[in-house]
Amino acid sequence: MQIVEDEPGTSRFVRLLRRPNSAFTLAELVVVVLVIGILAAVSLPKVFDQSTASELTTIRLSLQTIQDQIELRHAVTGKYPSTIDKKWFRGNRLPHHPLNGGAVPDLHVFSGDARQHPSYKTLDQYGAYWYNPAVGIVRARVPALRTSAETLALYNLVNQAALTKLDQKYD
């Protein structure tokens, strides 16, 4: 083994790098893994919160786009359209509903009274969007969460409503 003397003023880091067959110790590796783990634990929830915020913004904008088209037809004809035509929108399809994984049809047109909210507020066999042509209101259904209170809170947040029960149909 050849011994090389360090130049005066060489830092410890440089000496470590010049050391032949140098490797990280187990303690150094454990510290690096812990730091990476702590950074991931701090940053991942923020990434998921941003994703959820983006979905909420998208669905609100989609609802507003649909509602604008309904109001436009109402202004021209004096009555609300009996259905929502996909041809009104870019690409001949309804605006994106980010909480609908595609298993649920896009639209459920309600026929009945002048209710302002659907009976079923969760994404199930009915449409991702609910439309009542009697009053020209469109709502977005949401996925069922762990509790009915969480589901209601999400429905209210997405639809900018203030319902107190899931089966409530009027503001």
Q: What is the DSSP string of 117-136?
A: S-S--BSSSS-SEEEETTTT
Q: Is 68 part of any domain?
A: yes
Strand partners for 131:
109, 138
Phi, psi for residue 57 in degrees, rounded to 5: -65, -45
pTM above 0.75, yes or no: no
Q: What is the pLDDT of residues 28-67, one digit of tens each?
A: 878 888 887 777 777 666 555 556 778 888 889 999 999 9
Q: Is 111 part of any domain?
A: yes
Q: Helix, strand, or coil here: 12?
A: helix
Determine the Cα–Cα distance for residues 164 and 24; give it in Å rounded to an integer: 59
Residue 119 sits in which domain range? 31-159
Mean pLDDT for the chain overall: 82
Tally of structural domains, the chain = 1
Q: Is 61 part of any domain?
A: yes
Enclosing H/E stretch for 41: helix 26-77
